[in-house]
Structure 1
Amino acid sequence: MTHVVCTDDGRRLSVEEMGKSDGDPVFLLHGTPGSRIGPHPRISVLYWLGVRLITFDRPGYGGSDRQVGRSVGSVAGDVSAIADHLGLDRFSVVGRSGGGPHALACAALLPERVLRVAVLVGLAPHAAEGLDWFGGMTPSNVTEYTVALSGRHRFADWLAPAAREIRADPASLIAGLYAELPEADRRMVNNPGVRDMLLRNYAEALRRSEDGWVDDAIAFCSPWGFDPADITVPTLLWHGGQDRFSPIDHSRWLATRIRTATMWEEPEAAHFGALAALPDLLPWLVNGEDAA
């Protein structure tokens, strides 16, 4: 079921619901670039676990209007607006990759509403003290974030040609990254079902513009608008030891700052291993049960 939710400042957010309509609500925050129709657990799994999964296009992606100058913390207002529209008082939040910092924002800024938060292959703040932020990161990501640090306009100009190519052929994004993928990630993206979900996700994310991608990257490299150390809700950090896009040291750093955090490391998994891990985390997200 698709909704259009209007925010207090007049923006439209494109929202998707799936799973059990009266189930336990869980917000899934997509990666970068990404959209509301990105990879998610099978509908049968959501029904079996009694989960009402809610996804939405962050501003500038898919069907959602842009919010120029947004910070990572800005997402908390959008999640609140969607929850109010759907009549939800309490909910859990999970973010994958670029959605990870945004999930943490909800936990930090909406503690009275967020029950639990999970982050899969997420990032730490760029100014994280004692962390080599680029350490272990693929050359393509190092270049992307280095350009983002030089400013919004320069980064937008730099990203535009690649975004046009991906818009014309979403498979070009995977093809461009393939040489940098560890073997675990190659196995994931070579799976026809996973590949199809990723291609539909990228196509929807960039169908109007690359504004969401630009604003995500700038937000990651700027002050987030909250301190992860302020998070008080139960937090689960999942990371693959072979991840080269969001290196595992980012989650390890977060685990030392968030008092309520539990770290779950999968040594042989990589970045896209988060797609397979999410269904195992859902029981914990909805009722605190140990993940399988």
Structure 2
Amino acid sequence: MRDHVGTVDGRRLRVEVSGHPDGHPVFLLHGTPGSRVGPRPRPMFLYQRGTRLISYDRPGYGGSDRRAGRRVVDVVQDVAVVADALGVDRFAVVGRSGGAPHALACAALLPDRVTRAAALVGLAPRDAEGLDWFAGMAPSNVDEFRTAFTDPERFEERLIPRSDAIRSDPARLLEELRRDLTADDRSIVSDTAMRSMLLRNFREALRTSPYGWIDDALALTGPWGFDPADIRVPVLLWHGEQDVFSPASHASWLAARIPQAKKVVEPTAAHFAALRALPKVIGWLIEGALV
């Protein structure tokens, strides 16, 4: 299988496939910042459960060329191109954190191809009517998203040197987040195997440029280009009640908006607990098992 897939506008997307080669296709859309190597179930787990997991670097991350000015909805073209290159007609899609809105975009605009979708610890649109978007969000995230929304040039100037420092020392990002982590999240990111996957993910995400991260933030706080209310396929919204990076109120807003949404909120979980929930979520995507 080719490592890269070409797009109509001449960009290259770096792709990775793991699990059962003939299994049920599931796209895993990574977080922010993130990459195709991001935390995921082990290949043997996926193989045993008949799952073919497809991941790729969003534009500007890892080995994928940048698409300046991209919106959340633009993910749909890239996912379709990757699916076509792999000979995949129908598939499920799951996104975590910054990848969650992108998964919802695929569900909304590829109804004939997406079988089910899951959004883990995701965000609602910045202009969500009736939602206090920043309520319950950690001050660091409020500052980051507000700056991206109100002063994108300043946001870019701040994030470039920060990305350079994290690329040299990926553990730096986890240290930055530590003060906002719950005890449960600290235990998850302190696990040796999980920490290794996260550090590898951050390093690869920022290996070639900071613009995947920059463009993600601008896309998430700008107009998404689609309405979640248009989604007609079954959707699972998984969230931790204690999440301060993307508050659970965002999942509640989406659940009220999406016709076939099933909301699962874990009362003691926070943001990184989505990594622990991912195997069960994949089970729901391919088998319809209750989570």
Which stretches in structure 2 are left out of the alignment for 5+ residues?
A: none
Residue 192 (structure 2) aligns with: 192
> For residues 31 and 222 of structure 1, what CA distance do their matches in structure 2 show?
17
Partner letter of residue 91 of structure 2? Answer: F
Residue 183 (structure 1) aligns with: 183
1:87 correspondence with 2:87:
yes
3-state SS, counterpart of residue 106 of structure 1: helix
> For residues 161 and 83 of structure 1, what CA distance do their matches in structure 2 show?
35
Partner letter of residue 168 of structure 1? Answer: S
Contact map agreement 1:120 1:238 (CA 8 A) in 2? yes
> For residues 55 and 20 of structure 1, what CA distance do their matches in structure 2 show?
14
Matches within 5 A, 1:24-63: 24-63=24-63
Per-residue CA deviation, residues 227-260 of structure 1 (Å, 9 max, x unaligned), is 0000000000000111110110000100000010
> For residues 267 and 150 of structure 2, what CA distance do their matches in structure 1 show?
34
Matches within 5 A, 1:210-221: 210-221=210-221
Provide the TM-score with structure 2 as the length reference. 0.98
Matches within 5 A, 1:95-174: 95-174=95-174
Residue 246 (structure 1) aligns with: 246
Contact map agreement 1:2 1:17 (CA 8 A) in 2? no
Q: Quote how far apart the aligned CAs of 1:289 are.
A: 2.4
Q: Quote how far apart the aligned CAs of 1:275 are.
A: 0.3
Q: Quote how far apart the aligned CAs of 1:269 are.
A: 0.7
Which stretches in structure 1 are left out of the alignment for 5+ residues?
A: none
3-state SS, counterpart of residue 119 of structure 2: strand
Per-residue CA deviation, residues 59-112 of structure 1 (Å, 9 max, x unaligned), is 000000000110000000000000000011100000000000000000001111
> For residues 261 and 125 of structure 1, what CA distance do their matches in structure 2 show?
16
Residue 223 (structure 2) aligns with: 223
Q: Quote how far apart the aligned CAs of 1:2 are.
A: 5.8
Per-residue CA deviation, residues 26-77 of structure 1 (Å, 9 max, x unaligned), is 0000000000000001112101110000000000000000001100000000
3-state SS, counterpart of residue 207 of structure 1: coil
Provide the TM-score with structure 1 as the length reference. 0.98
Partner letter of residue 16 of structure 1? Answer: E
Q: Quote how far apart the aligned CAs of 1:162 are.
A: 1.0
Partner letter of residue 195 of structure 2? Answer: R
